[in-house]
Amino acid sequence: MRDLSPVLGTEVEGFDPQSQVDDETWHVLSRTFDDRGVLVFRGIELDAPMQHRMVERLHASGALADSERAAAEGFSYVSNTEPDGGSPYGRLLFHSDMMWSDLANQVPSLYAVQAEQPSTPTVFTSTTYAWDTLPDDLRTRVEDLHARHESGQQGRGDSEYENELIQPQWDRLRDTVTPIAYPHPRTGKTMLYVCEQQTREVVELAKRESNELLDALFAHLYRPELLVEHKWETGDLVIWDNQAVQHGRPYVLGDGPARTLRKIHAPADLAQRIGALPAYAR
C-alpha cells in the first residue's frame, strides 16, 4: 500500500479481485479505508458483480455481505459516450453525493471502463482532516451551527464558473439540515460538513454573514495542498467514503476524449443491516 498524500488516499498494488482474498486482507483494506478515505486500484479487470462485492465489504468493515446482497448487478455510468450516461459534460464542484438527503452515508466507486487520454481527473479532499486542522477561531464560530444542503449545484454568483456547472433537474427541491461539526455515522470522526456544490446557507445566520462564513470554510477545505487528484486510466478503480471525503472534477467536454466510468455504491444502511459496524461506532 502506498499513501497518495499525507492527508488522504492509498493506492493498493498487486491486488487481484479475481483471486481468493482472505478475511484478514479485507479487514486490513477496511481499516485502511476508514483511516485514509480513498482506495485506488490500478489496471485491474473488474465486472459489475465483483465491483459490488468489493465496495460492500469495505462499507461493512470487511465483513462478508454477500449473504444479504448477493452480487447485485445494477450500476450506472458517468460518461460522455454512453447513452444516458450521467454528468456527460461540464464541471462538478466539490460535494458528497446526495448530501441533501439522509442517504449520504454511502461508499461510492468508479471503475474506468474507458479513459482516453488526456482524461479529466476526479479530485478529492478530506472533511475529517479539514475539521482537525480548522483554526481555533473558525472552530469556535461553527461548532454549534447548522447548514442547509439543497439538491442541485448551489452557485453563488461567481461568473467565472457559473455557466459551466451541471444543473440537474429535480421534480422538487430536496434539502436537509445537519450540524457543521458532524460526526461520521460509521467511524465517529468529526467532519467539516459543508460543500460548495450543495450547501446553501448557515441556518442561524443572515445571508451575508452566512456567505462570508461559508467562503472562509471553503477556503480552508479546498486548499490546493490538501487536494488529491486521480488521473484516470482504463482499468482503474477508485473507492471512497462519501462523507469523510468530497469529490469534484474540472470541465469535461461532451465531444472530448471518451470517459466512461462505471458507478456502483454500497447503500447507506448496509453495515447496520448485517451487524458489521466497527467497534468504535457501535
Question: For residue 165, what is the domain's CATH number?
Answer: 3.60.130.10
d(CA 265, CA 51): 9
**Residue 171 clears pLDDT 70, i.e. is over it:** no
d(CA 31, CA 59): 10
Phi-psi region of 114 (alpha: psi -120 to 50; beta: other; left: phi over 0): beta
Domain with 172, as residue range(s), is 2-277
- The amino acid sitting at 113 is V
Number of compact structural domains in the chain: 1
- The amino acid sitting at 235 is G
* Average pLDDT of the residues of the chain: 86
282 located within any domain = no
What is the rounded radius of gyration, in angstroms, for the C-alpha atoms of the chain?
Answer: 18
41-95 confidence digits (pLDDT tens): 999 999 999 999 999 888 876 565 543 444 456 899 999 999 989 889 888 999 9
32 located within any domain = yes
- Give the single-character DSSP code of 227: -
CA 192 to chain centroid: 14
